[in-house]
Amino acid sequence: MSDAAFTASTVAKNLPVLFRNRLIDLSAPPKATLSLVPGLARYWFTLAREFELAYATCPDRIGLIDDDGTLTYRQLREQARTIARFLLSLGEDELHIGIMARNGRGIILPMAAKGYAGATLYLLNVGSSPEQLLGCIEENNINVLFVDDEFADRVPQRPGLNVIYAHQAQQRNDHVGINHIVRHPEDYRSVSLPTFPRHGGIILMSSGTSGVPKGVVRPEPKLPTVLGGVMRAIPWRADVRVQMTASMFHTWGWSMINIAFAARATVITQRVFDAENCLRQIERYRVEGLVSSPIFFKQMLQVPGNEQYDTSSLDFIASSGNALTPALVEETIERFGPILCNIYGSTELTLAASATAEEIAADPTIAGHISTGTRLKILDKNGKEVPNGQIGRVFLRNNTSLTGYTNPNIPIIEEQGLIQMGDLGYLDENNMLHVLGRIDDMIIVGGENVYPRSVEEILEPMPGIKDLTAKGVDDPDTFQRIAVWVVRDETPAGQDLSEDSVRAWVADHLADHSIPRDVHFVDELPRNATGKVMPRML
């Protein structure tokens, strides 16, 4: 099938889902219906388009509840347009906008302003060091930086860099802030917004552990050809109330905030994740959807007395960013009901597979069904496709796959027109994808392949363990061996944990080559803002 035919077929498959969930709603007021096509032509599938259509259909609906209060869709539109005019008033030939901000209006408004003004957008990891931030700015010629003031000490003194505070915990005079801009729209009313903005790419930074993070270049989507996979797994619908825990500077959060506003949802966020406050918000606002990652709802399950919070309004928990484990799936279903859905993807390749709540409940080990609009194959080390059931490297492509890296010297591994995901996995007899872990994570012990994730899955339900991670380490005899880092909980079982008891638990469930040589007890694991463990800091 040609690429054009594949795209047309994908759109046709997606349309019934979009109509059913009212993400395209022809029963909307005539003004809104008439604005669909020109809105798409002008703004593509950007937040600018979503705010324009929401303004035409439900301007006074609350669109955002964050740490600074509430904003209606009318206010979101007006404030984003004001920021766009401000950006154009800077007089830059081309706008290269960086955002280093936590969840809330401080990241959402500049993202939407990008669509109105026409720019290239760089979503920067809030964990970036000063050196990494400087590297990103220099490598990508970023000339506008929206940054939360808590990261001000990381911002370099660089000629030509316009710094705007995305969020201000206190009044500061060294740089202008978003709040000041939106309170004075009259200062920029003379600036005209382009009829057809020049849409640059969306660049998401990988979670670099050292050096300059890789800038993953992704085009603004013109057609929602991967939405069917998301909608298949997650029961999105119009006018839903959703708690957005996933970090919006990460692919998972970025994609879901776009879908949330396309659904004219009310989005509830908090800048710094607090597990108990998340439960409190679900109860207070009768939240219907939680967009999160496993580490975050695991922490919610560990809140003492979490059962006192009424979470019966939840229709779905959408998970991505980290692998689910059978123990976590079981515990989540026991607490919230069978509403846990899973999306599998990556920064480079976005959506690969999706699993419904029913599929996850039936088999917690699956990544899911290959998504509509995605070509996916399992290839061996020679680039040949392997039969179902055989482990190989995951390769895929869809219309939101990266077009390259901002640093052209970074190679893209391709086979058969598909891009390497970086994971090992296999397809089962039902063509469902199973992921075993990163290619680099697999180690060989005594001639046997060992996947650290398998050790984590076995240890997670062990009484007394609050958190853990496993990885391969060098061994003078077997070349490599598994090591684990364990955080004890505060129960008697946690206090009784020992290196020998951890090894014995693994020995009871797995072969000898999977038994960890080293067991380290730590107070906490070093995790980044998306919840992933940072191996270099172990």
- In a domain? residue 271: no
Residues in the chain: 538
Residue 66 and residue 200 in one domain: yes
- Give the model's pLDDT for residue 92: 93
* Cβ partners under 8 Å of residue 411, min gap 6: none
- Domain count for the chain, please give it: 3
Distance CA 304, CA 281 (A): 17
- In a domain? residue 375: yes
Percent with pLDDT over 70 in the chain: 89
Closest listed residue to residue 258, CA positions, set 405, 115, 396, 88: 115
479: left (phi over 0), alpha (psi -120 to 50) or beta: left
- In a domain? residue 467: yes
pTM: 0.85
- In a domain? residue 515: yes
Where does a domain end: 223, 255, 280?
223
Q: 248-279 in b/e burial notation, b at 16+ Cβ within 10 A? A: bbbbbbbbbbbbbbbbbbbbbbbbebebeebb
Residue 212 and residue 172 in one domain: yes
Residue 462 and residue 421 in one domain: no
Distances (CA, A) of 475 to 208, 240, 445, 453, 520: 26, 52, 9, 19, 16
Tens-digit pLDDT profile for residues 315-330: 999 999 888 889 999 9
**Which residue range forms the structural domain that includes residue 346?**
289-437
- In a domain? residue 69: yes
Residue 309 and residue 350 in one domain: yes
CATH number, domain containing residue 498: 3.30.300.30
Identify residue 422 by its one-letter amino acid code. G
Per-residue pLDDT of the chain in tens (538 residues, 90 and over written 9):
444 444 444 444 544 555 455 555 444 555 555 555 566 667 777 899 999 999 999 999 999 999 999 999 999 999 999 999 999 999 999 999 999 999 999 999 999 999 999 999 999 989 888 998 998 999 899 999 999 999 999 999 899 999 999 999 877 777 799 999 999 999 999 999 998 998 888 888 875 555 678 888 876 665 556 677 788 899 998 899 999 999 999 889 998 999 999 999 999 999 999 999 999 999 999 999 999 999 999 999 999 999 999 999 999 999 998 888 899 999 999 999 999 999 998 877 778 899 999 999 999 989 999 988 889 999 999 999 999 999 999 999 887 778 888 888 888 889 999 999 889 999 999 999 999 888 888 888 877 888 888 999 999 999 999 999 999 888 777 678 899 999 999 999 999 999 999 999 999 999 888 999 899 999 999 987 777 888 878 8
How many helices (H) and strands (E) the chain has is answered by: 17, 27
Residue 185 and residue 45 in one domain: yes
- In a domain? residue 27: no
Closest listed residue to residue 117, CA positions, set 185, 47, 68: 47
Half-sphere exposure of 399 (CA within 13 A, CB side): 20
Q: What are the φ/ψ torsions at residue 309 (nearest 5 degrees)?
A: -85, 135
Residue 493 and residue 353 in one domain: no
Closest listed residue to residue 148, CA positions, set 170, 119, 173: 170
- In a domain? residue 188: yes
Residue 338 and residue 316 in one domain: yes
Where does a domain end: 376, 410, 437?
437
Element (H, E) at 482: strand 479-488
- In a domain? residue 247: no
Half-sphere exposure of 392 (CA within 13 A, CB side): 22
Residue 427 and residue 450 in one domain: no
CATH number, domain containing residue 429: 3.40.50.12780
* Cβ partners under 8 Å of residue 34, min gap 6: none
Where does a domain end: 174, 195, 223?
223
Residue 432 and residue 390 in one domain: yes
Element (H, E) at 503: helix 499-507
Tens-digit pLDDT profile for residues 389-418: 999 999 998 877 788 888 888 888 899 999
Closest listed residue to residue 229, CA positions, set 48, 433, 426: 433
Residue 331 and residue 458 in one domain: no
Q: For the beta carbon of residue 494, count every other beta carbon within 10 angstroms.
A: 16
